[in-house]
């Protein structure tokens, strides 16, 4: 991954093959160097501080974003709290809109650097590059699978199961990004994870404690988790067996 990134500058969209638990796969760059150069010309680089909003639900959508570094959270604001729909990492594309308005909000979970690609210019390029259509389809398929996996996670009844699935997902993504994976790095804070898992902060905290006390995981600190017993974690996450 880093090779490719270094050779060419400009927006990068990566696709990871769909995740079948247990099969580590590598992600590949969707855009050709030419395409990236083309996009780079119309893109500007923007920065956001941790916690800063990139856009809010309902804002007029004038651009899409492509993450260079940092982590972005997309979410819906509800009176009952937030519903986090995804965590986005380097290479992820976000901000696709509907009828000119963003349909969710996006916020920087860490400090973020991203390409900002104005919509009109993007549209012009898309019209002239049939190949990018295919890329868009691949990207949408990936998002769709992500959303379905999220739904599967949310359908789980036990907090520990949700957390186990989440940890395995994060580890998988980390691996696919080519990062070292001796331990799982969770850049986002607890409340965002809770909002992603459909749990309260307290329930999530207890779920962590449960896994730690059963020696299934250990945590160096709040953002660094190590898997001690992969078998048990797997059994918890796989929704195929039950155990306390």
User: Which residues contact DNA by CB under 7 A?
Assistant: 157-160, 189-191, 198-209, 221-223, 244
> Would you say 205 or 234 has its CB closer to DNA?
205
Q: Which is closer to DNA, CB of 32 or CB of 191?
A: 191
Rounded least distance, CB 214 to DNA, Å:
13
Q: Which run of H or E residues covers position 68?
A: strand 63-69
Task: For the segment 41-100, give every residue that binds its own copies (CB under 8 A).
Answer: 76, 78-80, 83, 85, 98
Q: Which residues does residue 116 pair with via DSSP β-bridges, in sequence order?
A: 44, 65
Cα(88)–Cα(83) distance, integer angstroms: 15
Closer residue to its own copies, CB minimum distance, 81 or 219: 81
Pick the piece of the chain touching its own copies (CB under 8 A) from 36-44, 61-69, 87-95, 129-137: 129-137
Residue of 157, 180, 213, 244 that binds its own copies (CB under 8 A): 157
Q: What angle do CA 94, 97, 100 make, to 5 degrees?
A: 140
| Beta carbon nearer to its own copies, 79 or 182 | 79
What are the b/e assignments for 185-198, b being 16+ CB within 10 Å?
Answer: ebebbeebbbbbbb
Question: Which one, 91 or 198, has the nearer CB to its own copies?
Answer: 198
Q: Establish if 201 lies at the interface with its own copies (CB under 8 A).
A: no
217 touches 233 (CB < 8 A): yes
Q: Mask 11-30, x = binds its own copies (CB under 8 A)?
A: -------x------------
**Residue-wise burial string across 207-231, b where 16 or more C-beta atoms lie within 10 A, e elsewhere:** bbebbeebebbebeeeeebebeeee
Question: Which of 7, 63, 35 has its CA nearest to residue 133?
Answer: 35
Q: Which one of DNA, its own copies, none is in contact with 189 (Cβ closer than 5 to 8 A by kind)?
A: DNA
Could you say which DSSP state residue 112 is in? E
**Site residues, its own copies (CB under 8 A):** 18, 76, 78-80, 83, 85, 98, 103, 130, 133-134, 136-137, 140-141, 143-145, 147-148, 150-152, 154-157, 198, 239-242
């Amino acid at each position: 991954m880093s090779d490719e990134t270094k050779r060419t500058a400009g927006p990068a969209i990566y696709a990871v093959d769909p995740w079948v638990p247990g099969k580590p796969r590598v992600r590949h760059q969707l855009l050709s160097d030419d395409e990236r150069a083309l996009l780079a010309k119309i893109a500007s680089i923007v920065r956001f501080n941790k916690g800063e909003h990139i856009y809010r639900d309902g804002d007029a959508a004038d651009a899409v974003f492509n993450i260079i570094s940092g982590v972005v959270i997309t979410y819906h604001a509800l009176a009952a709290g937030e519903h986090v729909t995804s965590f986005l990492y380097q290479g992820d594309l976000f901000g696709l809109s509907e009828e000119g308005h963003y349909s969710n909000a996006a916020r920087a979970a860490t400090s973020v650097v991203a390409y900002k690609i104005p919509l009109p210019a993007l549209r012009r390029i898309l019209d002239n590059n049939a190949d990018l259509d295919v890329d868009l389809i691949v990207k949408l398929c990936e998002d769709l699978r992500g959303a379905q996996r999220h739904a599967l996670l949310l359908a789980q009844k036990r907090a520990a199961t949700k957390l186990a699935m989440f940890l395995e997902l994060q580890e998988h993504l980390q691996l696919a990004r080519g990062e070292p994976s001796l331990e799982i790095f969770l850049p986002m804070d607890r409340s965002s994870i809770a909002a992603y898992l459909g749990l309260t902060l307290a329930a999530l905290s207890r779920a962590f404690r449960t896994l730690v006390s059963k020696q299934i995981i250990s945590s160096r600190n709040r953002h660094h988790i190590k898997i001690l017993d992969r078998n048990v974690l797997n059994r918890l996450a796989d929704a195929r067996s039950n155990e306390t």
